[in-house]
Chain A
């Protein structure tokens, strides 16, 4: 029996190589390193603890099965994050299919929404601490529709171009543009609403 391998000391590349050879402990170390990353990505999309757990675990199972296809063209973390993102997009699509399109959503898809465009408040978060801003924005992101949240995540967190988002989400470039625009507006509106309620609550406590 050979000496016990210290997996924690190995870098990703070495762990991936070992895992590709069937070493389950090396794969476990990779999971340990990036489980929070995947869970956070899934949470950002689905906002439900159980669903996020399930999706992130499924992503790891798929990563194990497809590990031989990973050639190291990008970082392992990037590769595995892409897997969980694809699963999240599938989840969003399933939800979309099960839901009837509202008139508003339909207008958004076809672009006949000019009359709905009202003035935008530039920075409703001004004056808050960074931690407060983070809390408010997380809550606001949670209030968006799955599609709007997905487009924001893909564009702002994953840094994907309109074209790449269109390909992943299976829609046109124009749809991506209008979805992103409305996602940003909805997020700003949600932030405003959260702050308004907070202020009301604070004022109520004072009086």
Chain B
């Protein structure tokens, strides 16, 4: 172990059931072989036992009559102070935003997806109809305007015109 403090804290953790099996075995060996470890162990063990046995938490009772105590709570519930009102309003707002996020967010995502699907569908239909409506095309090269290609999709014909002699020759 790195240092004495580290060892003490490990012994404490052992008695608080906070160690894994390997570390617990290490401490068990230490408790057998080292007097100081035994002493610390005894101290922590007794400390825990005493605190739990004595039940220190249950000794006080309200220093004022219950009716007065309850009246204080009731008035804060029914007539909230300005701070209560503001914090309540903020909490309400946060809750509403959460609710909106919970319900509206999924609906928005679905709506956006639907819109995208519709747009994509429209574009696809338009493209398809454009392709299917094309019966023939004439391609003229910009580089060489003398060359013209004629394609007829329905007949399966491709014709090319070349000027003779070619331009510039």
Contact = CB atoms under 8 A, between A and B. Distances in A.
A61 B76 contact: yes
Interface string A9-41: 000000000000000100010011001110111
A111 B59 contact: no
Nearest to B78: A24
Interface in A131-190: 133-134, 137-138, 141, 152-153, 155-157, 161-162, 174, 177-178, 180-181, 184, 187-188
Interface residues of A, number: 52
Nearest to B3: A114
A35 B66 contact: yes
Interface string B36-71: 000110111011101111101111111110100110
Contact of B61 (A36, A64, A65): A36
B73 A40 contact: no
Given A117-B4, A161-B18, A134 B39 contact: no
Contacts of A181: 8-9, 12
Given A122-B42, A156-B52, A57 B57 contact: no
Given A57-B76, A111-B5, A134-B59, A177 B48 contact: no
Interface residues on B, range: 35 or more
Contacts of B54: 130, 133-134, 137
Contacts of A76: none
B10 to A, nearest CB: 9
Contacts of B52: 156
A86 interface: no
Interface centre among A41, A43, A177, A180 (most CB of B within 10 A): A177
B147 interface: no
A184 B4 contact: no
9 contacts: A28-B74, A43-B60, A60-B73, A64-B77, A65-B88, A122-B39, A162-B13, A177-B13, A181-B9
- Which 4 A-B pairs rank lowest in CB-CB distance, beginning with the nearest? A120-B43, A156-B51, A177-B9, A60-B73
Interface of B: 3-5, 8-9, 12-13, 16, 18, 39-40, 42-44, 46-48, 50-54, 56-64, 66, 69-70, 72-74, 76-77, 84, 88
